[in-house]
A and B are shown apart, each in its own frame.
Chain A
Amino acid sequence: MLRVTLLCLALFMTPAAHALGPDEILPDPALEQRARDISAGLRCLVCQNQSIDDSDADLARDLRVLVRERLVAGDTNAEVEQYVVDRYGEYVLLNPRLGGHTLLLWTAAPLLLIVGLVALLVARRRMVPPTPDALTPEELAALENLKHGSDKTGA
């Protein structure tokens, strides 16, 4: 929570740089909204875990301006994203792309759910009524006694 901003404040803040400023906002609201949508998924590289929209760092400001420049130049959202990734690496994306290196990340939750369900089904199958304990020697003897007793009376 506070961590992120503080780090940025402490290390990277110069009087010129701030979170999204009025001078950066595009006149076209539709384009600006697209810029916001893209910015929310881009990471401020010098902060810990903050999107460029919220960051006070210089670099975040540069990226915000860059995103808007590309949009004005007519790029699609995907093209803008690719443009930024080409220059700053995939690290800049807050939502990692699905690929070999993130396969486990993206499939972790569904896999866990499936494993959990299977484990439940297995446990359910195993859940049989507990078989009564075998008779103790005393009980056996008592039973034997009864049998013999009835034999005697029968004889």
Chain B
Amino acid sequence: MSIELGHFALVLAFAIALLSALGGLTLWRRGERLAAVLSQAAILQFVLVALAFLAVVHAFVVSDFSLALAANHSHSLKPLIFKISGVWGNHEGSMLLWVLILVLFGALAAAFSRELPSDLTNLVLGTQSLLTAAFAGFTLFTSNPFARLSPAPLEGGDLNPVLQDIGLAIHPPLLYAGYVGFSICFSFAIAALVSGRIDQAWARWVRPWTMLSWTFLTLGIAMGSYWAYYELGWGGWWFWDPVENASFMPWLAGTALLHSALVMEKRNALKIWTIFLAIITFSLSLLGTFLVRSGILTSVHTFASDPTRGLVILTMLAILIGGAFLLFAIRSPALRQGGLFAPISREGALILNNLFLATAVGAVLVGTLYPLLLDALTGTTISVGAPFFNFTFGALMAPLLLVLPFGPLLAWKRADLVAAGQRLMGFAALAVFLAILISALAGNSISLVPVGLLLGFWVTFGAIAELIERSRIGRIPLAESLRRLAGLPRSIWSTAIGHMGMGLTVLGIVSVSAWETELVTTLNPGETAELSGYVIAFDSFEQIPGANYVADAGRFTVTSPNGDLATLIPERRTYVASGMPTTEAAIQTYGLSQLYLQLGESLDDTHVIRVWHKPYILLIWIGALVMSGAGILSLSDRRVRFGVPQTSRRTKLEASR
């Protein structure tokens, strides 16, 4: 019964979304009263979709296998958390989650729209409802999660074992929150184009939404990367896989949008470009959804390949994105550019940032789609893999990282590059020194490693240059410096912390690519092996029964170079329901480095083991966490909050003095 109620709730939400979209987009001049209706409709859409979602979750939790979705993707023996996460571990359920997050953002936009002019509210909520109608309709008509089975099977078909992991509970919701959050920026862009109202206030409303989505997307991508790292069994953390690229492109575009919206908010410049980026960013999110959901790419994320669904999504995409760009083409020439600035200025630096990020988006997009298009047009099949992306992307990021520390030190309008350079001199020297020292110690003579290290340290230290500058550490008493630091606006802190996170990630990537060591060998219980100073003793081999699997497990004692003992138990699992095997690597953390131990297949009487030492690999994800933290800090700044007026000029001057 609850299933049918859920189904009905989704149908109702679809109908309300359709009406809201029609009303909002045609009658947007009608003012306050329409805005009130649309706000309530947005909240109602959220409540209804949440009910629909809960109905499916309930069926999974109580193992109601009369629901086809549960019968195909769940199992009564699964632990509770995987029963719940299993809801979105399949095509239909993940579309429902997509719609749920879409209406959640719609409801949030409605709740926070009180300060907005009613025209803008109407258009934003109308566009948001249009998106909801499109995707709720897609879910209902092509991927109905509420289909019943009769007779109901006694047992479910089980969730793919690789997906039975805490990663599935966290990764898709975060990623979708990032993807879908950009829909608000998209709706604001459409509203701006339709109403012609594009000013600094618009940028101030859009930036928190961009920041929120970007923070979620950063966390989602980092989480997915760490999940792949520990689950796949050989410690790879980024593959330039098309599906990964699909999530990475909105991140790059979103990063560019964050920076260009800043220029628009502070200086009223880059308006057309910012609108364009807002449309592009969400379009890339949609493209990602299309690539993953259409079955064009065969992957574990695709769940089910159904060409008709792909065609429907492609059509929706063409209409939504095409319509948005058509509107852009018609309306943008009428927009007035404002805000003059010299090339060497904060604006100039942010434009450079946007140039490189946008080019990187283009390069990744071309690399991802090129093989598909070439195959479709000429029948020639080629592969575009990690070596291509590493080279192209690396070449574009290096100059960006090089100029990054200068940005925050340059003044708006017209800046003194030499003065900024002088202030960074110490940090540059420190970065060069450390890069040379570490390269010399590690014995890398001719390679890109020193360059990578240099960039990593340069960005990490350069990020705090502004903090040091403003607090005058070393030039005035320490207590006074600390008081100044505490008094700095949060936007300055979040800029510094965000950039530092970027530097940390670069350092992690460089060190693990350069100094990872590996050992592949056969070992019997009682024998030992050694890798990078770590002694790995194979104690015993046993079978451990799990909740819904049986595992071959090895028990290893690892002695680190400074004598610490640790017990590692890597497993090879066979899942009862599907008979599928998975490897569960054992990972031991030493500071920022990790030892990664995988129990391989049994070979005759002996066991294959694979061990990797991954120096400073944790920096990759710590950097991402630091970046997300900077995003949250920035959101907590009262000056970016909705409707709160700018800090008065006097307070600002005091803070910067």
Interface residues, chain A, CB within 8 Å of chain B?
A: 1-7, 9-10, 13, 15, 18-23, 25, 40-41, 43, 48-51, 54, 89-96, 101-102, 104-105, 108-109, 112-113, 116-117, 120, 124, 127, 129-130
Contact = CB atoms under 8 A, between A and B. Distances in A.
The B interface is mostly helix, strand or loop, or mixed, namely mixed
A18 to B, nearest CB: 5
A54 B234 contact: yes
Given A101-B374, A108-B366, A22 B387 contact: no
Nearest to A95: B387
B388 A95 contact: yes
A92 B383 contact: yes
12 contacts: A1-B227, A5-B232, A5-B300, A7-B298, A13-B581, A49-B241, A92-B383, A95-B387, A101-B378, A105-B384, A108-B367, A109-B360
A7 B239 CA distance: 15
B557 interface: no
A95 B610 CA distance: 27
Interface centre among A1, A20, A93, A96 (most CB of B within 10 A): A1
Contacts of B520: 20-22, 25
A114 to B, nearest CB: 9
A18 B355 contact: no
Contacts of B383: 43, 49, 90-94, 96
A21 to B, nearest CB: 6
A90 B380 CA distance: 9
Interface in B292-314: 297-302
A22 B581 contact: no
A116 B256 CA distance: 14
Q: Classify chain B's interface size.
A: 35 or more
B535 interface: no
Contacts of A116: 355, 358-359
A18 B236 contact: no
B585 to A, nearest CB: 12
B228 interface: yes
Interface stretch (B322-330, B600-608, B632-640): B600-608
A129 to B, nearest CB: 6
Contacts of B163: 2
Contact of A94 (B362, B370, B388): B388
Given A6-B162, A21-B603, 5 more contacts: A5-B233, A40-B386, A49-B385, A91-B382, A109-B363
B317 to A, nearest CB: 21
B340 interface: yes
Contacts of B601: 15, 18, 21
A109 B231 contact: no
A83 B232 CA distance: 30
Contacts of A19: 234, 600, 610
A23 B601 CA distance: 12
Contact of A113 (B160, B244, B396): B396
A18 B299 contact: no
B581 A49 contact: no
Given A49-B242, A105-B370, A127 B228 contact: no
B382 A112 contact: no
A9 B581 contact: yes
B380 A101 contact: yes
A24 B641 CA distance: 60
Q: Shortest 10 CB-CB distances between A and B: which pairs?
A: A94-B385, A3-B299, A1-B228, A3-B300, A95-B387, A109-B363, A108-B366, A6-B300, A112-B362, A91-B381
Contact of A127 (B243, B340, B381): B340
Interface in B199-244: 224-225, 227-228, 231-234, 236, 239-244
B343 interface: yes
Interface in B348-399: 351, 355-356, 358-360, 362-363, 366-367, 370, 374, 378, 380-388, 391-392, 395-396
A109 to B, nearest CB: 4
Contact of A9 (B356, B359, B370, B580): B580
B522 interface: yes
Contacts of B384: 94, 96, 105
B521 interface: yes
Given A108-B366, A109-B392, A112-B362, A90 B608 contact: no
Contacts of A3: 241, 243, 298-302
B376 to A, nearest CB: 13
B337 interface: yes
Nearest to B354: A116
Nearest to B226: A1
B355 A48 contact: no
Nearest to B578: A10
B334 to A, nearest CB: 15
A148 B92 CA distance: 80
A93 B383 CA distance: 6
A18 B607 CA distance: 13
B521 A48 contact: no
Given A20-B520, A124-B343, A43 B385 contact: yes
Contacts of A21: 520, 600-601, 603, 608
A154 to B, nearest CB: 41
Given A41-B387, A50-B239, A6 B160 contact: yes
Nearest to B355: A116
B547 to A, nearest CB: 20
A52 B600 CA distance: 17
Contacts of A5: 162, 232-233, 300
A61 to B, nearest CB: 12
B159 to A, nearest CB: 12
A48 B385 contact: no
Interface centre among A4, A13, A18, A120 (most CB of B within 10 A): A4
Contacts of B355: 113, 116-117, 120
Nearest to A18: B601
Contacts of A22: 520-522, 603, 608
A5 B230 CA distance: 13
Contacts of A95: 385, 387-388, 391
Contact of B367 (A23, A92, A105, A120): A105
A20 B242 CA distance: 24
Contacts of B581: 9, 13
B358 A51 contact: no
Nearest to B352: A120
B241 A120 contact: no
Contacts of A6: 160, 162, 300
B608 A18 contact: yes
B396 A109 contact: yes
A105 B355 CA distance: 19
Given A7-B298, A105-B366, A105-B384, A1 B241 contact: yes
